Copies of this chain bind each other. A is one copy, B any other.
Amino acid sequence: MPGHSQDRAETSGTKRVTLADVARHAGVSTSTVSIAFSKGGPISERMRSRVIESATQLGYAGPDPRAASLRRGRSGLIGVVLGERLGGAFRDLIRIALLDGIADAVGNAGSGLALLGDTDGGPLNIATAPVDAVILFGCSTRFDESFELVCQRGLPMVELEGAEFEGAEFHEPGTPIPHGIYVLDSDNRGAAKLGAEHLRNLGHTNVSIVSLPLDRDRARHRFSARDPLPGHSFVADERIRGVRDVFPAAGGYSAASSLVEEGRLAGRVVLGGSADNEHPLDRSLRPTAVIAQSDLLAVGVIRAAAELGLHVPNDVSVLGFDGIPLEGLAELDLSTLVQPAQAKGRAAGLAALDLIEGRQVSPQSFHSVLHEGATTGQAPGQAPGQAPAPR
C-alpha cells in the first residue's frame, strides 16, 4: 500500500493547488493545462480560456517555478557574486552601475538576479543556489574560491572587471576560455593611457598613481616602477601599465579599497610625503598630477591636497577613473575617465545569457572616454597653451 506521509513543510495548512488539480477541474489533461499557461503553445483560444477559468476558480497562480525549473533544467536566475559584503560592495556606485546594466540585460530576457556570496560567517551559497550562470565581480578577495566552486558545478561564468585569480595568466581577457567562461574586455590600459596623455599634454612630467588594492590582502603601500606588478588585480595592474605607457617611471600608492577616505590617506602620502605629514615632501619632488584609479579615490586625493594647502588644479592636477555620478558632489567637476559601466554590465548579462544557451558569445570591447573637468590643468610653471619645455 503506497502513500507515505512524507509531507514537506507547508506554510499554510491547506494543500497547494497544482496543475493536475486544474486539469481535473477543467476536465482536460495536464499537458493541456501546461500549454495553456506557457506563452506560445498550440492551443485553441476556447480551451485556453476554459483552463484559465478553472485556474482562477481554484486559486491557481500558475506553475510552480521550482518544478518548472527542474523539468526545464533552467531556473531563470543568474547569480552575481559580489564577494564583499553588500554594504561594502555598493559603496562605490560603479558597482551599482554595473549591476544595473546586468539587471537590465537579464531582466529583459525574463531572467532574474540572485545575489550570491558569503555573508561573513554564513555558508557560501554559491554551491547550492539554483542559478543557471554566474557573473563574478573581479574585485573579490575570495575570488578564486568562488571561481573554483562555480567550475565544479560546471556553470557558465562571466568575469566582470578583470581576473584576479591564479589562472589569470592562462587566458587573455576577451577570449572565450576553458569551458563556458567568458572574461569581459574593457581596455583599462588604453583608458589609463588616454588619461596619462592628457596630463602629458598639459605639461606634467611627474605624475603619481593612487591605485586600487594591488594585493590579495588589500594592503596599503607605496610602489615604484622598479617593483614588479603583483598580478593579483588585473584591473589595477592594467591601469598602472597604461599610465607607464606614457610615464614609464610612475610610482604611487595602493589604497585598501575604493573609498574617499582611502583616497585621502593615499593623497597625503603621494602629495605630502607621509600620512601624518611629518616629513613634508620637497616641492620639487612633489608630483604635479595624480591619477587615481577611481573617482572616489580622486575625491579623497583632492581632499588631501586641500589639507596640505595645495590648490587643485593650480598646484596639482587630479584625474579620476570611472565617471560615475558622485551623489552629493555635484559641485565638483572631476576630470575623469568615463567608462560605460552600464553598457559593460549589460554586456556581461548578455554574455551570461549566451553562455547559458550555448551560443557563441559575441566578443565586445569597451573604451573609456576622457572627461576634461575642472580638476586637471596646466602643470605649474607652464604657460597655458604652451608645449612642455624640453629639458
- List A residues at the B interface (Cβ < 8 Å): 8-12, 16, 59, 61-77, 85-87, 90-93, 96-97, 99-100, 103-104, 106-119, 121-123, 125, 127-130, 152-154, 156, 179-180, 259-261, 296, 299, 303, 325-331, 342, 355-358
Residues of B within 8 A of A342 (CB): 87
Q: What is the CB-to-nearest-CB distance from A181 to chain B, in angstroms, rounded to a whole number?
A: 12
From A92, A129, A326, A356, name the one whose CB has the most chain B CB atoms within 10 angstroms: A129
Cα of A70 to Cα of B99 in the assembled complex, Å: 29
* Contact call B76/A127, Cβ cutoff below 8 A: no
Q: Nearest B residue to A82 by beta-carbon distance?
A: B103
Q: How many identical subunits does the complex contain? A: 2
Q: Which 7 A-B pairs have the closest CB atoms?
A: A107-B119, A87-B100, A65-B130, A8-B73, A107-B122, A108-B122, A61-B152
Q: Are the C-beta atoms of A108 and B121 separated by less than 8 Å?
A: yes
Note all chain B residues with C-beta closer than 8 A to A111. 125
Least Cβ–Cβ distance between A178 and chain B, in angstroms: 11
Q: Complex Cα distance A123/B110, Å?
A: 6
- How many angstroms from the CA of A326 to the CA of B328 in the assembled complex? 8
Task: Decide if A130 touches B62 in the complex (CB within 8 Å).
Answer: no
Q: For A130, list chain B residues within 8 Å (CB).
A: 65-66, 69, 75-77, 130
- Which residues of the partner chain B approach A10 to less than 8 Å between Cβ atoms? 73, 358
A321 and B326 CA atoms in complex are apart in Å by: 20
A112 CA to B130 CA in the complex, in Å? Answer: 10
CB pair A100–B71 under 8 Å, yes or no, is no
